[in-house]
Amino acid sequence: MQASSPSLQPLVLASGSSYRRELLSKLGLAFTPVSPNIDESALPGEDPADLALRLSCQKAQALAPAYPDHLIIGSDQVAVLGERRLGKPGNHENAVAQLQQASGKIVTFLTGLCVYDARRGISHAGLDRCRVHFRRLDRRLIERYVAIDQPYDCAGAFKSEGLGIALLERIEGDDPNALVGLPLILLTELLRRCGVAVV
């Protein structure tokens, strides 16, 4: 998607997410975005962190037959409020309900990341944890925000890279990119392990 890559192996981003494409473009590496077709359901009793890691690796490995000489990047994010996973709201009513539940609370975002070397059959994987502290939000503010930002495709029902930042007290984490969907600090480390020097 961009100019030449220092990688000897071509890169594939196993995602249909425009957010992840935009984030990966920041590294200036050429890559091909391809949406993997996998079942993203949790296994019975599966821990959210294990789910995020498993799905990130599954997404990457699912594309290996079609891209046998590539480094394939898979990522998956799970948002957790208390003991409950938050999915993508999908519509206005669900987004409002999610933000009402998150008001004054902490939502933890677990982002799994995998770089799969299809040529060698080796996975390099890791997990980023980010804790998001929400302000106390009244219904009118929530309704106004959702109407403006329309965060229907975002787990947690807000966009930290947009107006959603105004809903928060603070963010605890190592990489602000992870909250949007792709932890670039961790990604550059995993790519280095595969022989790709980003800089």
- Residue 7 predicted with pLDDT over 60: no
Instruction: Output the furthest CA–CA distance in the chain (Å, rounded).
Output: 54
For the segment 118-147, the average pLDDT, to the nearest whole number, is 97
pLDDT digits 0-9 by tens, 28-56: 999 999 999 999 999 999 999 999 999 99
Pick the catalytic residue: 39, 47, 50, 76? 76
What pLDDT score was predicted for residue 8?
73
Q: Is 76 a catalytic residue?
A: yes
CA–CA separation, 48 and 92 (whole Å) = 25
Extents of the domains making up the chain: 11-194
Alpha carbon dihedral 65, 180, 41, 13, in 10-degree steps, equals 0
What pLDDT score was predicted for residue 2?
42
- Residue 168 predicted with pLDDT over 50: yes
Residue 116 main-chain phi, psi, to 5 deg:
-105, 120
CA–CA separation, 57 and 116 (whole Å) = 7
CB contact at 8 A, 43 and 85: no
Residue 52 main-chain phi, psi, to 5 deg:
-60, -40
Compute the C-alpha angle 88/32/108, nearest 5°.
30
pLDDT class of 3 with cuts at 50, 70, 90: very low
Q: Which CATH class is domain 11-194?
A: alpha beta
Question: CA 78, 80, 83, 88 torsion: positive or negative?
Answer: negative
Provide CB contacts within 8 A for 145, sequence distance 6+.
99, 158, 163, 164, 166, 167
What pLDDT score was predicted for residue 6?
41
Q: Is 10 left (phi over 0), alpha (psi -120 to 50) or beta?
A: beta
Cα R_g (the chain), whole angstroms: 17
What pLDDT score was predicted for residue 119?
96
For the segment 91-111, the average pLDDT, to the nearest whole number, is 97
Q: What percent of the chain has pLDDT over 90?
A: 90
Chain length of the chain: 199
pLDDT class of 1 with cuts at 50, 70, 90: very low
Structure tokens at 57: 């690796």
